[in-house]
Chain A
Amino acid sequence: MVAESTEKFERWTIGAIRDALIAKRVSARELAEDYFARIARENPKLNAFLALSPERAFAQAARVDAMVASGEVLPALAGVPIAIKDVISTHGVTTTCGSHILENYVPAYDATAVALLESAGAVMLGKTNCDEFAMGSSNENSAYGPVHNPVALDRVPGGSSGGSAAAVAAGLAVAALGTDTGGSIRQPGGFCGIPALMPTYGRVSRYGLIALASSLDRIGPFTTTVRDAAEVMNVISGRDLNDATSADTEVPDYTAALGESVEGLRIGIPREYFGPGMDPAVRHNIEVGIGALEKLGCKTVELDMPHTGYAIAVYYILMTAEASSNLARFDGVRYGPRDVGDGTLMGMYRATRGHKFGDEVKRRIVLGTYVLSAGYYDAYYRKAQQVRALITRDFEDAFKKVDLIVTPTSPAPAFKLGEKTDDPLAMYLADIYTVTGNLSGMTAISVPCGLTPEGLPVGLQIFGPHFGEARVLQLAHAFEQTTNVN
């Protein structure tokens, strides 16, 4: 059995909250009070929240309760307590990116995704812990201490969106936003045992997201049910004139296909995702999961995606290159603390960055600057962009033959805190099944796929083609129903 876990709270879903508000069984204010009380009890064990925003939450709850009182039609997420990863800007609420270099940063505007959630009636409880600038797979790179996995407190929650995953899994929020650059939504979702969706590149606006790697970053939801993930996607998807990379593609109702039969869906099983190095318990659960999909009438098709094995190498070149460029703006001039250094402008830049960035951030800036520097650009950066095209082609070819692709989310379940902190490369390999989705721009979800004999959650990953979220959610929902029955 697993080590100590957190208290079990009543689980609210978005639909249950809507029904309870309309029936006046609960008010938005009472819900917010209940969730802040849960956070006060459990957060000292988890370290999932870095900042709380009770004023903003109770003001929003009051607006929702006024709508209920006047009998207005409630917006989609009325009264739903949510949490936001601390790399996403929130007007007036500290946004640290898990870093000392932004320890006192208070944004002057809201990210579009946050504004959309609040326009739909969601009640923001606060900001969640994460690896510094979303760089990590365990949440151990936060300047504010690691997050503990609510399932087993001596284990990591995954990363980089570990606080968001832990908050939802522990019942401290009904939904949370995370960000995914190489697996940072799906992997912690898998480790904490909840659904976690990475939308297609361009599906959700990133305006107000403090960027790690602009060609890879996505914003997406953590929820306790697949239906709730669909409800959140309905609200946050769509074109935003403040984000030129957001797509002008129609947003369907993501709940519409939930519950429809998945019989006849062609599911690709890529051999490269089932090679050596996978934990036997993970392999067992995923095989059982694939069997459950076959029982639902899905047709499984073995696939080859021959460039999968190059993905981590491509990822760590392109991501660090983009990160070194994006993080150039943190220099002590406009935000965050300033370290004056030797008193010169250059000395101030060097001291502020050298002293306020953490270890992993500096490692990635050095690597990213190196691969972009004269003499190495073609050998590393250009080469990686070429192989990225080949990895994307693997997916395009696959989606000519199948509707969706199923793999494990991670090669192993949640590891112990401190287990991998000394070896960056070993940590990077935890993302081996997820980075391909970021490189290719595809969408993917991690859904719970049972527990290991030790009691640790396993995640099953479902990839869909560009803008294929509706189909991904449909299969994830059907799969969720079978695992609930068992």
Chain B
Amino acid sequence: MKISREEVLRVAELAHLELSEAEVAKYLTQLDSILEYAAKLNSLDTSNVEPMTQVVAGLTSAHGDLNPTFREDVVVPCDISREVLERAPDAAPPYFRVPKVIER
């Protein structure tokens, strides 16, 4: 087995995901077969290969190398907060309301 029941439970905890007993059992089997399949990558020697972390950085075009340009970092109005809060599950504008996390 590539993955254990304890690991599925630990990962579900990390991901804030409530899983039923049936789901834990099912995912354990399915993830094990997917990870077994993924193990085929180990047959490749990649010791001299840089991991590809950016798609845009490597892009080249007919016009030469592409250098991503960024906009000026200036604050511009984004006046949608009222609309966003109106549709939130629970809001007390300008805040979203959640269960209490600090006792005093």
- The chain A residues found within 8 Å of chain B, CB to CB, are 104-106, 108-109, 200-202, 215, 239, 241, 244-245, 247-250, 307, 309-310, 312-314, 316-317, 324, 328, 331-338, 340-341, 343-351, 353-355, 357, 359, 362-363, 365-367, 369-370, 373, 380, 382-390, 392, 424-425, 428, 441, 466-467
* Prevailing SS type, chain B contact patch: loop
Could you tell me which residues of chain B, from 27 to 64, have a CB within 8 Å of some CB in chain A? 27, 30-31, 33-35, 37-38, 40-42, 44, 46, 49-56, 58-63
What distance in Å separates the Cβ of A325 from its nearest Cβ neighbour in chain B?
10
Q: Produce 1/0 per residue, B72-85, CB < 8 A to A.
A: 00000000100110
Docked Cα-Cα span, A200 to B85, in Å, equals 36
**B41 A247 Cβ-Cβ under 8 A:** no
Contacts A387-B41, A425-B37 given; does A367 touch B31 at CB 8 Å: yes
Question: Which residues on A sit within 8 Å (CB–CB) of B18?
Answer: 341, 350-351, 353-355
Residues 13-35 (chain B) with a chain A CB within 8 angstroms: 14-19, 23, 27, 30-31, 33-35
Complex Cα spacing A467 to B59, Å: 9
Question: Do the beta carbons of A424 and B30 come within 8 Å of each other?
Answer: yes
- The complex places the Cα of A314 from the Cα of B37 at a distance, in Å, of 10
Chain A residues positioned under 8 Å from B35 (CB to CB)? 367, 380
Q: Is the CB of A345 within 8 A of B44?
A: no
Do A390 and B49 touch (CB < 8 A)? yes
CB distance from B93 to the nearest CB of A (A): 13
The answer to whether A310 touches B41, judged by C-beta atoms less than 8 angstroms apart, is: yes
With known contacts A108-B83, A366-B15, A380-B38, A389–B30 Cβ distance under 8 A: no
**Closest residue to B42 on the A side, CB-wise?**
A383
B102 CB → nearest A CB, Å: 10
Return chain A residues, CB-CB under 8 Å to B17.
350, 353-354, 357, 362, 365-366
Residue of A nearest to B39 (CB): A313
Size class of the contact patch on chain B: 35 or more
Which residues on the A side are within 8 Å of B3 (C-beta)? 370
Q: Could you tell me the distance in whole angstroms from the C-beta of B85 to the nearest C-beta in chain A?
A: 9
Are B11 and A370 in contact (CB-based, < 8 A)?
yes
Checking B8, B69, B89 against A248 with a beta-carbon cut-off of 8 angstroms, the contacting residue is B69
A369/B52 in contact, CB under 8 A: no
Q: List 15 A-B contacts (CB under 8 A).
A: A105-B87, A215-B55, A244-B70, A250-B63, A310-B40, A331-B16, A340-B99, A357-B17, A362-B19, A380-B35, A384-B38, A386-B51, A392-B52, A467-B59, A467-B61
